[in-house]
A = this chain, B = another copy of it.
């Protein structure tokens, strides 16, 4: 599968994507992924795809990869389409859809290590709340974390506030309450992030969406979430060991059952 080199997704990062976990052909959290993609189209000001076309593209990609009966990952990409030179979109953008399927990463309950990185989230752009094709800062953050010997990056915004990982959301536990950075901090509006917030309410656990400075964060239980890994404990932050908390396991069970 190819796209023309004048596609604005390629030339300018002008577009959106979704990465979904698939269990034997069933797209997990499909409604939430679809809703986020459609909301992103409004923010970007591009026409939106139909749910039917997205589902067909996902199914075709799974079949091409021979993964229709497996635990798999589908990535759906929706670009702003072909667009000549320069920043201005054509009067009638014709977005382009493509999909790819991959084997799902091996499920693991091993904890992950995080390293605070220098590259910051752009809290001043609506794009920081979306999965857009302009994802270079995330690539650079992950690479910086890897150079520091960590699995994932802890990204702050330009105010020094906690935001998220390069490809995951961030939670921590203090005084039996759950905390996560509020979206305004430049946080991707993660599907599992939303599921965890709802699951916490279901368990009677208070979850606060907050603006919090990195230096205010002690060695407390912490976990990260995304659509592929679900919920994973952080066992090490900037070289310091973090304690575990059974609440993380209860939340993991609750979202798996959702």
Q: A residues near B, CB below 8 A?
A: 1-14, 17, 19, 44-45, 73, 75, 77, 79, 84-89, 98, 100, 102, 118-127, 132-140, 142-143, 146, 156-159, 166-167
Contact = CB atoms under 8 A, between A and B. Distances in A.
Contacts of A123: 120, 158
A75 B85 CA distance: 8
A70 to B, nearest CB: 15
B98 A5 contact: yes
Main secondary structure of the interface of A (DSSP, over half): mixed
B13 A87 contact: no
A98 B6 CA distance: 10
B44 A140 contact: yes
B120 A11 contact: no
A166 B87 contact: yes
Given A135-B12, A135-B134, A142-B88, A3 B6 contact: no
Contact of A10 (B9, B120, B156, B167): B9
A136 B12 contact: yes
A124 B158 contact: yes
B2 A5 contact: yes
A143 B3 contact: no
A130 to B, nearest CB: 9
Contacts of A17: 11
Contacts of A86: 167
Given A9-B10, A10-B133, A119-B127, 16 more contacts: A2-B5, A8-B139, A10-B77, A11-B77, A12-B138, A13-B133, A75-B85, A84-B102, A87-B135, A87-B167, A88-B142, A88-B146, A120-B123, A124-B156, A125-B137, A126-B140
A167 B86 CA distance: 9
21 contacts: A2-B4, A11-B135, A12-B138, A13-B132, A84-B102, A85-B100, A86-B167, A87-B166, A87-B167, A88-B143, A88-B146, A89-B143, A119-B126, A120-B123, A122-B124, A122-B158, A124-B156, A124-B158, A127-B137, A133-B136, A158-B159
Contacts of A159: 158
Nearest to A8: B139
A125 B100 contact: no
Contact of A3 (B10, B19, B124, B132): B10
Which of A79, A134, A135, A146 has the most chain B CB atoms closer than 10 A to its own CB? A134
